[in-house]
Amino acid sequence: MICERAQLRIGVLFALPQERKPFRPIEAAQQNLIVHCSGAGRENAARGAQQLLAQGAQYLIVCGFGGGLVEEVMPGTLLLADQVLDGAASSPQVYKPNVELFWQAQQVAPPQVCLQIGPLATVNRVLLNSAEKSAFLQKLSAIYPEKPLGIDMESFGAAQVAAAHNCPWIVVRAITDGHRDSMPFDFNVLTDTQGRIRPFPLLLAVLKQPQNLPELLLLGKRAANAAKMLALYLQNLVAVLQEPLP
């Protein structure tokens, strides 16, 4: 009698459906994946991580969109976090991924994907322009010895939960805006508690500032490309994560 080895259960945590969209065909081909969209923000991400662990996830991949804080982390780049910093803390709060899992994650980027490696900071709001990003970097330089290369709004919350449950985790963010880029509108007031765009307020914002519409369309194209690059990378990553870590 041949006993089949149980497949490793991999939890994949996105914030938003548009981050997940290009990954859906890969989900269908990988029966050992547990995928969840948590909504934006660290609290939603923490709840999403809890849900994936409750469903039996043995690894946790935290992924989605992010912003660049330095020149080399440009739109379309993927940032693999070697540490996740709390960007809202007044003293250092850091989580680092599992060494073996992180090593594997560095090896699998396909040729068309530009993978950068470095610290990522989690913030509580969208940083709207280069001035806000520069001020944020200056603030964190007084707290952390290494400056973050990028920002997001979820990863610290998810990493905190995974670490508390001794679940190996990694974070990879697909960059939609660079360090010099500005948001076309203030998405802090145009989204709901899940981070989803509210159509009517966005329409009003476009009517008030129609000159910003081309920038909004460009951001949409960049986000679609970033999600595509992320899916290509994740396809390779989940293919190699089939055995428990030593």
Helix (H) or strand (E) holding 170: strand 169-177
At 107-129, the pLDDT tens digits run 999 999 999 999 999 999 999 99
Task: Decide: 119 and 148 in contact? Cβ < 8 Å.
Answer: yes
At 35-60, the pLDDT tens digits run 999 999 999 999 999 999 999 999 99
At 1-28, the pLDDT tens digits run 333 446 789 999 999 999 999 999 999 8
Hey, is 68 helix, strand or coil? strand
Hey, is 117 helix, strand or coil? strand
Written as one string, the DSSP assignment of 22-41 is: GGHHHHHH-TTEEEEE--SS
Q: Report the top-level CATH class of 10-240.
A: alpha beta
* pTM greater than 0.85: yes
pLDDT value of residue 3: 39
Dist. CA 150–CA 142, nearest whole Å: 17
Dist. CA 237–CA 230, nearest whole Å: 10
At 146-204, the pLDDT tens digits run 999 999 999 999 999 999 999 999 999 999 999 999 998 998 888 888 888 899 988 99
